[in-house]
Amino acid sequence: MELKTLELTKKFGHKTAVKEVNITLSNGVYGLLGANGAGKTTLMRLLCNIQNPTSGTILLNGRNIEGLGERYRNLLGYLPQNFCYYPDFTAFNFLCYIAALKGLDERKAKNRAEELLEAVGLLSEKKQKIKTFSGGMKQRLGIAQAMLNDPRILILDEPTAGLDPKERVRFRNLISAFSKERIVILSTHIVSDVEFIAEEIIMMKSGRIVHLGNPQKITAEINGKVWECMVPASCAEQYAAAYNTSNLRNISDHQAVLRIIADGPPLKNAVKVQPTLEDLYLFYFKGDERQ
Amino acid sequence: MKKLIEFELKKIFSKRLSLIVLIGLLVYSALTALSTYNNKYAFDGKSADGSGKAAVEIDKALGARYEGILTDEKVQQMMEDFALTYDLHGLNAAYIYQNAMQSAVFARFADMDGHWNGLSVSDVFGDEEIRIGYVDGWLSTSKNLVRVFMVLALAVIVMTAPVFSGEYEGVDNLILTSKYGKTKGTAAKVAASVIAALLVTALTAAFNLILAVVLYGKSGWDCSILFASSDYVEGFIPFNITCGTLIRYQVLLAFTCTLSVTGMTLLISAASKKQIVAFVASMALFLFPALLPLTETNPLFRYVGLLPFYHVQAISLLSVEQIGSGILYGVWAVPVAAVFVGIGGVVSSRIFLKHQIV
């Protein structure tokens, strides 16, 4: 299966949210990284066909998704960034409703709903009304609904928002197990989530794709630019503000270790270290965050 | 599709506001019926009088006494039986109310002093054969149904307004990305709204008719509305229809009203991003004709009168010239409702499935 965008552009008035994006996605997990306002959510909505592009096309196996209608949506699972539920529905009923919309027959829907509620750790709460759920529980229910139809294309916008570390690990395992022979696209601000499960990273900035590749390949771009150096704890914050710093760690009352991204050694005692995806993220997006 | 409609119905009826409105509607129906019943007064012209149940018993007994076709002899008999024994001090006898039968005969056959005015049955009703009897119960029910059906229309607006606008608050992206979200899913919303309106209308009508039978009994169903006491505007409908026909028309018009309101509200719901906007706009649009200075004598009323507001104001609509062969003009409300539902359903679906998630 191949999902391809050709010169995909989306404008809102004078603002261009997605600009001439050309990507080809085949089976695998794609992590979509970018600062707030980079165009990630708009790109996902375009891929889900719930926003019309200003120009450009999206092709699934060479066919425009506009013309595929139900056949395309049948392959799709989507977890939006901001969404609501029916507060008076139980978790189980909600999943059964979404399953009916996805065209699952009643028996299959019930089995699948139970299966997914168990997978996201909500089976014991299946008869509880959604209005009693915490934010994390609602998010897990959102993940479950996206996977109901066993989608071939799974698009998850900020799926780990509101999840505690244990739930994030559960989510990562769930996606890893699910992703075979499927296209999974997930956006997140938590770089480590992507780092663990994504085979390919798509980095967006100002509506454009600035990088697409596997984590090793794209972090190689900043090889030799990530440094760690020991500084007096009393000056650590001044140094951190002066450089593009990805981490500050106090190791004693008097000393701290700074992780700095710079073309050359920022301080005399700086030691070159292996770059991570988080370093790359900061390298590209330092100062880009809108919120 | 069936399952989707079930879920949509569940959504409509599981909303707390919908439940409150429905319970409120039934309570209002019961209170209106009981209050009307308790406010009844009757004096048989001789010795018995009373209110509430006693008044209904007196009226029923009098209705039974004169039951049948209205003749000049019966008019004379009634004028004699209900002859006034006290000084009116200048009051017009036509407005004297002792009991339903007396009021009906005095309104048409008495002069200011309460004596026969010289008119015969054919002078008043032409060639029409007027069947009289105990009509007060059904006419009270008809009068109450106007108010109850008005509240019913507002209840349907409350139930229908969130059908699309509620989804815009965050579930639309899930619906529109699912296989049937843009096809059967949207059609199910329209179908469920129509079914919900039909169910609630049927429930309300049945509840009120059962209350009527329990309180007043079934007698008078086949009697003419034209021999109504002066309390009822129903008596001014210029056609010789029975109480049963009147009630049937009212129930039919309640259905056409709620269906029309459903179509209209669905359209506004799809066009509004907020539920509250859909509520307010739908109610304003429904009630707007009340502000128009039109009566049934105005030629424009033939068209404006077909708006859903006038379906529940049944007396005005039923007073427009007959279509012919005993069919009242009000039946035009049926195609009008079909148009409202058709346009509302189709356009609202298109608006919903074409809208962009932002």
Residues from chain B that touch A100, judged by Cβ atoms under 8 A, are 3-4, 7, 180
Q: What is the dihedral of CA B175, B177, B180, B184, to 10 degrees?
A: 40
pLDDT bin (cut points 50, 70, 90) of residue A242 is: confident
Burial B87-125 (b: 16+ CB within 10 A, else e): eeeeeebbebebbbbbbbbbbbbbeeebebbeeebeebb
Place of tokens 């409908």: B237
Which of B75, B109, B132 is the endpoint of a domain? B132
The count of structural domains within chain B is 2
Chain A CB contacts of B179 under 8 Å are 70, 73-74, 101-103, 149
CA-CA-CA-CA dihedral for B315, B318, B319, B320, to nearest 10: 140
The whole-number pLDDT of residue B197 equals: 95
Residue with tokens 């007060």: B136
Q: How confident is the model at residue A197 (pLDDT cuts 50, 70, 90)?
A: confident
Domain limit, last residue, from B132, B167, B182:
B132
A13-17, B278-282, B291-295: least confidently modelled range: B291-295
Residue A291's pLDDT band (boundaries 50, 70, 90)? Answer: very low
Same domain, B13 and B87: no
Contact assessment for residue B113 and residue B93, using Cβ atoms and an 8 Å cutoff: yes
Q: Report how far Cα B101 is from the mean position of its chain's Cα atoms.
A: 24
Q: Write down which residue in B112, B132, B152 finishes a domain.
A: B132
Do B175 and B305 lie in one domain? The reply is yes
Same domain, B60 and B190: no
Do B159 and B262 sit in the same domain of this protein?
yes
Q: Lowest-pLDDT range, A46-60, A273-287, B134-148, B235-249?
A: A273-287
Picking from A43, A97, A110, A147 by the largest number of B CB atoms within 10 A of its own CB, the best residue to mutate is: A97
For A213-248, letters b (16+ CB in 10 Å) and e give: eebeebbeebeebbbbbebeeeebeebbeebbbbeb
Do both B294 and B308 map to the same domain?
A: yes
Closest residue on chain B to A53 (Cα): B356
pLDDT at residue number A290: 43
Query: pLDDT tens for residues B201-240?
Result: 999 999 999 999 999 999 889 999 888 887 777 667 778 8
Q: How far is B349 from chain A (nearest CA, A)?
A: 15
Q: What would the 3-class secondary structure string for A20-69 be?
A: EEEEEEECEEEEEEECCCCCHHHHHHHHCCCCCCCEEEEEECCEEHHHHC
Kindly state whether residues B170 and B315 are assigned to the same domain: yes
Q: Is A212 exposed, middle or buried (0-12, 13-18, 19+ CB in 10 A)?
A: middle
Would you call B177 and A48 a contact, using CB atoms and an 8 Å cutoff? Answer: yes
**Number of separate helices (H) and strands (E) present in chain B:** 16, 4
What is the spatial distance between Cα A32 and Cα A11, in angstroms, rounded to a whole number?
A: 20
How many angstroms separate the CA of residue B267 from the nearest CA in chain A? 21
Q: Do B14 and A88 touch (CB under 8 A)?
A: yes
Rounded CA-CA distance A9/A203 in Å is: 16
List phi, psi (to 5°) of B82.
-105, 20
Encode pLDDT of B267-287 as tens digits: 999 999 888 999 999 999 999
Q: Does A48 touch chain B (CB under 8 A)?
A: yes
Q: Could you tell me the residue range of the domain that residue B242 belongs to?
A: 2-36+135-354
Q: Which of A12, A44, A50 to mutate to test the interface with B (most CBs of B within 10 A)?
A: A50
Same domain, B304 and B334: yes
Does the pLDDT of residue B85 top 80, yes or no? no
Asked whether residue B272 falls in the same domain as residue B241, the answer is yes
B87 and B175 in a single domain? The answer is no
Residue among A45, A96, A145 whose CB faces B174 most closely: A145
Q: Nearest CA to A118 among A85, A99, A143, A89?
A: A143
